[in-house]
Chains A and B, each alone.
Chain A
Amino acid sequence: MNIVIIGNGISGITCARNIRKLDAMAGITVISEETAYFFSRTALMYIYMGHMKFEHTKPYEDWFWKKNRINLIKACVKKLNSRDKILHFENGNSIRYDKLIIATGSNPKTFGWPGENLEGVQGLYSIQDLERMERNTKNISSAVIIGGGLIGVEMAEMLHSRGIPVKMLVRENSYWRNILPEQESKLIGKHISGHGIELLFNTDVKEILSSDQKRVSGVLTKVNEKFECQFIGITIGVKPNIGFLESDEIETDLGILVNDYFETSIPDVYAAGDCAQFRKPKSGHPPLEQLWYTGKMQAETLAKTICGQKSAYNRGIWFNSAKFFDLEYQTYGMVPAEINRQQKSFYWEHPSGRHAFRANYSLVDERILGFNFIGIRFRQLTAEEWIREGQTINFVIQNLKKGWFDPEFTKAFYNDIAKAFFKNTEITTD
């Protein structure tokens, strides 16, 4: 069996590794335009900030691929011909496959603002984007970030580490408000501002300006406010990188349409990671999953299917994490920006504004639904177990210590949280 994987990101590589674990004989080829070897995209910001060099971001040494008989090709795929099971490269070469896995990830989303293509305007996704950012931010004196998500705050931190003043233009009225409940959003917003980033909320961009028609010189908002800058980071999300599929009959929408087995509309062609879109997403689940974690979990599931152990994807209990400057954030289970009428929410915040905790639970039976932790590290195993088993909020609050994951000697807050909870809540007696 000759398996070809397009994309050497976390999804493609996880597929390759897991297929090799399950099948010693399969031929495995991974094609990438971006880099010769797998590297960790999550570490791009640390290269810019000087915490790491590119070679530190490679999770496996270069000999690993040959030893595991995973064939690596650095080339750009131009066209898929799924009828003849053949891939054509930009350099004229082509490759045949028995099974094809498309894991091409994403590209930064753009909006269509005038001036979007000026020099000094860019997103951040690939190593090439990082190299461009390195060039684009040489000797500049101010920068603007459009969009306030996770990449936005990363870019802000990167620029800040070089002493470049940053303004962040955010459409919502508070930071990452489409994901975070109000209090967390405010707390994180305050933290980011505290680092000297100018957060401008309720700000819509009208146009990106240039004084010489070549390079960016500023940005104009919908209320005709003008901000001068020599660099603009656009961080309004990502979109599946599937342009090369246009000429084929494979069904796509925003991404490549797949079922729960990551099968596309074409036999023997699969898609996983950022570029895949669920045809029928489960209720409450998004059709596109664009996280490191989901890319990895999808690929593990797909590898089983490829190797004959047909397995449907089950994302399990939701989790995610991020870091906003010094503030670590972990979330487990369902903690929506706004709760519905069947839910209750308990929020605690330390007076320093550096630690916060939220637990959402069901109004009817008080079962725990999800957690947010800010400036607190918590054991994933414990949080998941409690959510899966439907422990009551009282039990959870009384047992927080069990899941506490902060380093030894760190001041712990589980007692403060419990005190606050039992003071504010009527304890129902049987």
Chain B
Amino acid sequence: MKDISLSLTTPSAGSPFQKAGAALTSCGILCCIIATFGFGNNYPFTFFFLIIGLFIAGGLLYSIPYFTAKNGLKNDGIMQNSLSSKGAIAWGIAILMTGFYIILYWFPSYLEGLIRTMNPLSLLLRGKSADQWFLYGTFYTLAVLIMSIRFIGKYKFSRYQVIRTISVMFFQLGFAFLLPAFLLKLNQPEFYFSYFWPLKYSYFFPNDFDYLIKSGNLGVFMVFWGLVMTFIATPILTYNFGKRWYCSWVCGCGALAETLGDPYRQNSDKSLKAWKIERWIVHSVLAFVILTTAMLWLNSWKSGTIFGNASGLLSQWYGFLIGSVFSGVIGTGFYPIMGSRVWCRFGCPMAAILGLIQRFKSKFRITTNGGQCISCGNCSTYCEMGIDVRAYAQKGENIIRASCVGCGVCSSVCPRGVLKLENLEEESRFIPYIRHENK
């Protein structure tokens, strides 16, 4: 008889590789905690290699079964798994991540031991010693890269998913980690070429403008780059390819959500009520950031005579509420409970702008293939943005929604090949499928 354990379509939680991978990752977390309690100061090299090594080895071991398994969907057991179905493990991870963010943002001194372990790498890349943000950037990039490998294994049957994931790895590692570090080493402003206003809100604040322009030619180019990306490239690219060119191919927040957040994508709320709340909040945040930016400029133009301290205060509050609490603590900390795209869906003002363009002026749509939908619900279940994809598909309507980030997972999980992400003529995209006999 054939050994069926070798041909299982899904890596089961009981696989020795996955158990070993989970164990090594836990050891990595344990090392982080030990380093935090002072040992990182004394043995930075040892702990640096221990932590990074354990995370990489753990992640790779965990991913092996995805690569050795047969092609095809690997969603077996997700709803029974404590990690992915809001069980005890999920809550544990949520508390751990939320706690990490709170300490990172407001009590970084407690992380001193851990930060010191990053010194060797920080000196090498940036020519200065590590701070809390370098620690965060390193962990963030590591998480994206390791979980990207898992994601590629899981979706290896889909070239769209593989290529898209290589893209997010490239932009995270190159544009959001290495390039800003090298800039620092060259005594240039630490600038992220893959983040734009209003997601990176301060890039359009007068202070950042002043600082960049005064820092030299490269700084002037950075200001120019930011303006071009926000006002010219964003509308053109979104018109042609939809929101996805940024949200699921370039953006670092998207990168983390697609990779570290993938095990939780099914936990997004699909109800109509959630959609209503989403539209209110995300557009309020957009209004908030536009107002803040406009007030800062008005105030700066009139040398502080109009609003006094008010505009500065507003920007501080924006930074605290939206920049830290929403995008960090809630946005990532709540992955295991509310799904991987909490921030992107409810909070990101960049996503709001891209969404408005995608909804009203774009060639992008997810085409529904005629009357082929069997209403099974896999698409809606695995939509990280909480779109009830099935509601459109079963009516033969194309899916054109402001929030869709074009990750393509609905198309990947559809058992009947009903959904296709594509850019076609803008005019035809709202026309539903009607049976010839019913015309």
Contact = CB atoms under 8 A, between A and B. Distances in A.
Contacts of B378: 43, 46, 51-52
Contacts of A163: 4-5, 8, 12
A42 interface: yes
A388 interface: yes
Nearest to A195: B7
A377 B369 contact: yes
Contacts of A408: 160, 420-422
Interface stretch (A245-253, A325-333, A341-349): A325-333
Interface in B122-181: 157-160, 163
A151 to B, nearest CB: 14
B230 to A, nearest CB: 26
A84 interface: no
B76 A50 contact: yes
Interface stretch (A97-105, A313-321, A415-423): A313-321
A410 B377 contact: no
Contacts of B276: none
A330 to B, nearest CB: 7
A407 B374 contact: no
Interface stretch (A54-62, A206-214, A357-365): A54-62
Contacts of B4: 160, 163, 165, 196
B437 A292 contact: no
A235 to B, nearest CB: 18
Contacts of B163: 409
B408 A196 contact: no
Given A163-B12, A325-B72, A405 B417 contact: yes
Given A59-B377, A163-B8, A297-B435, A379 B370 contact: yes
Size range of the chain B interface in the assembly:
35 or more
Contact of B374 (A40, A198, A316): A40
Interface stretch (B47-55, B77-85, B214-222, B289-297): B77-85
Size range of the chain A interface in the assembly:
35 or more
B377 A326 contact: no
Given A50-B75, A50-B80, A51-B78, A323 B415 contact: yes
A387 to B, nearest CB: 10
Contacts of A46: 376-378
B173 to A, nearest CB: 21
A380 interface: yes
B388 to A, nearest CB: 9
B377 A40 contact: yes
A51 B77 CA distance: 6
Nearest to B413: A51
A407 B70 contact: no
A293 B422 CA distance: 25
Contacts of A196: 2, 4, 6-8
B341 interface: no
A124 to B, nearest CB: 15
A411 to B, nearest CB: 7
B339 to A, nearest CB: 13
Interface in B1-33: 1-2, 4-10, 12
B259 interface: no
B45 interface: no
B324 interface: no
A198 B4 CA distance: 11
Contacts of A325: 9, 72
B73 A407 contact: no
Select the residue from B80, B420, B437 with max chain A CB neighbours within 10 A: B437
A213 to B, nearest CB: 28
21 contacts: A40-B374, A42-B376, A43-B378, A49-B76, A61-B272, A160-B9, A163-B12, A194-B70, A314-B437, A317-B436, A319-B370, A325-B72, A326-B73, A379-B370, A388-B436, A405-B367, A405-B420, A406-B417, A407-B158, A407-B420, A408-B422
Given A165-B1, A405-B420, 16 more contacts: A43-B375, A50-B80, A51-B73, A52-B376, A58-B377, A59-B377, A161-B10, A163-B8, A196-B8, A315-B437, A330-B416, A380-B372, A380-B433, A381-B370, A381-B433, A407-B420
Q: Which 6 A/B pairs are nearest by Cβ-Cβ distance?
A: A380-B370, A326-B72, A377-B417, A43-B376, A196-B7, A50-B77
